[in-house]
Amino acid sequence: MTPKRWMGVGLVWLGVIAALGGLYVVARGVIIDEIRQHAKGVAIAVAAGIDAADLNRVHTPEDMETTEFRRVQAFLDRVSKSNVDVQYIYTMRRSLEPGAAITDYVFVVDESPRDRDGDGVISEEEMSEEPGEPYDAALWPKLVEAWDRPTADPRIQPDPPYPDLISGYAPVRDAEGQTVGIVGVDIIADTVYGKLRGVQVAFSVVALLFIGLITKVVSLHYQQQESFERVTRLGEELAERNELLKVTNEELAEHNRRMEQDLKLAQSVQLGFLPNEFPRQDRLQFDKFYLTSDLLGGDLFDVFSLDHDHVAIYMADVSGHGVSAALISGLLKMAVASVRGQRSPVGDAMRSALFDPDQVLHALNDMLLKEIPECDFITMIYAVMDVKSNHLRIANAGHPYPICYQPGTRQVSLWTIPGGPALGILEDQAYPVSEKEVQVGDRILFYTDGLTEAMSQENEEFGEARLLEMIREHGPREPVDILDAIRLAVDVHRNGEPVSDDFSMLIAEIRPDGVRT
């Protein structure tokens, strides 16, 4: 590879790394803010569950034997043990000593001593603070502010002898609305860094894959550019150098052959993105069809298990077609796959978002806004099927509506699912979730708009109405036969007219429990 080409590839690498680095900084801020809100939310919930009269009864270490102290402490222990991210939960009040400043606090009820690190010893930071133990909140403005309203620390801070932590606070108020104390909830820095490490792993995987793909594309671009420059120079010397032109044309043909081989390799990689096997065949029978207008296309779909009872289904359509659409669809595939592939406790938390279609589309939209050109976008539909209850939750980002065929009534319905705009257009978009109940035997068809927009020689689209009629006519047949009938109808409609856009179909049949095809 020439120095010029290395320089071009290096600039692309720097651009990709800078873009992903900026995206990581945003993701890091979002995770820390999420942890702050979680700590504050737990503090609010705990404050609501504490009787202000119980706190008013506790002032000195002797009060630790009272029913009120034990009742509050038992409540704090239960909450702490049920929230794995929470390290400490405690209550404080402002000092009642004459002349005390608003930053002078004292402990009221702390949770019980507990061996949190599992080393068999209760260390100093794992002990409980006794009622009346003073605490200087001068370095913790959010703790002082919590006397009036719920809040949380803006960042991780040291608090010797305790480990570095980030805390949320909420006031405990009596029946007259007067604050009698505050609840503090601490999440240690190790928990925060653990969640960030999961994001770092995901970003590293995406960066490596994306840089490798970009390097290949840039290399192909330079090869083609150099070949055309060579042909231009030889054209100017045609009279004297016919033999050299012949050799050069042979070289150009070889370059083109290699490029075609590379594109075919890229096509095989892209086809590998599509599912070859489907999960839960005892409850669901799937079949698929995929057609591109070029060697590479922008349609993408997948079906995968979230757990034993839940299957995720998505179908996406990148605007345009060809190499650029394939690259964007590959980025989308990697974004979903990197979350699915996590195997750490942090990854499990990230994977749990795949159960919520609205969260999936919202997160992908935020990512794609920063990663794809302004002129490009992706329509996408994402659904989660509960195979135990035959309950379907769907969110839609500008994608064609699914079609459902019910064999009992031979009824065909177009699921008009409310949704949001296509991904990668507008920031901070909401994608409402629709819920559907399906029955054994129902067939559900997902497709891209290249199907209904297939043109005839008379410039007429295949159309949604014709598609609904095909489903009504062939709905009782097996899924593979339904797709074959639609494909044949589209071919007849085009009557030799070239394919102008990619189109894909994915059909699911709800099977009785225990049936396997």
* DSSP secondary structure, 388-438, as one string: TTTEEEEEEESPPPPEEEETTTTEEEE-----BPPBTSSSS----EEEEE-
Residue 489's CB is within 10 A of a number of other CB atoms, namely 18
- The C-alpha atoms of residue 310 and residue 304 are separated, in whole angstroms, by 9
Residue whose token pair is 């995770």:
31
Q: Look at residues 499, 496, 469, 497 and name the one whose alpha carbon lies nearest to residue 485.
A: 469
Residue 514's CB is within 10 A of a number of other CB atoms, namely 7
pLDDT at position 373 is: 81
The answer, as to whether pTM is greater than 0.75, is: no
| pLDDT tens digits for range 25-79 | 777 778 888 888 888 999 999 999 999 999 999 999 999 999 999 999 999 999 9
What average pLDDT does range 199-206 have in this prediction? 70
The mean of the pLDDT values for the chain is 82
Q: Look at residues 287, 305, 446 and name the one whose alpha carbon lies nearest to residue 379.
A: 446
pLDDT at position 341 is: 54
Q: What is 445-504 written as a DSSP string?
A: EEE-HHHHT-B-TTS-B--HHHHHHHHHHHTTS-HHHHHHHHHHHHHHHHTTPPP-S-EE
pLDDT at position 22 is: 76
% of the chain at pLDDT higher than 70: 78
Instruction: Reply yes or no on whether the pLDDT at 239 is more than 70.
Output: no
Q: How many angstroms from the chain centroid is the CA of residue 452? A: 29
- The C-alpha atoms of residue 89 and residue 109 are separated, in whole angstroms, by 9
pLDDT at position 357 is: 93
Q: E strand or H helix at 140, and its extent?
A: none
pLDDT at position 210 is: 67
- The C-alpha atoms of residue 53 and residue 223 are separated, in whole angstroms, by 79
Q: E strand or H helix at 324, and its extent?
A: helix 323-340
pLDDT at position 16 is: 67
Residues 198, 202, 207: CA angle, nearest 5 degrees: 145
pLDDT at position 255 is: 59
Lowest mean pLDDT, pick from 79-93, 186-200, 404-418, 420-434 = 186-200
Burial, 254: exposed, middle or buried (Cβ in 10 Å; 0-12, 13-18, 19+)?
A: exposed
- The C-alpha atoms of residue 62 and residue 368 are separated, in whole angstroms, by 60
Q: Look at residues 269, 259, 426, 383 and name the one whose alpha carbon lies nearest to residue 334.
A: 269
- The C-alpha atoms of residue 197 and residue 210 are separated, in whole angstroms, by 20
Instruction: Reply yes or no on whether the pLDDT at 269 is more than 90.
Output: no
Count Cα atoms within 13 angstroms, Cβ side, for 95: 15
The domains of the chain, with CATH numbers, are: 3-14+195-266 (no CATH), 27-115+123-188 (3.30.450.20), 275-510 (3.60.40.10)
pLDDT at position 342 is: 45
Contacts of 212 (CB under 8 A, 6+ apart): none
pLDDT at position 231 is: 73
Residue whose token pair is 């606090």:
105
Q: Which residues pair with 167 in a beta bridge?
A: 186
Q: Look at residues 437, 404, 401 and name the one whose alpha carbon lies nearest to residue 509.
A: 404
Q: E strand or H helix at 169, and its extent?
A: strand 162-173
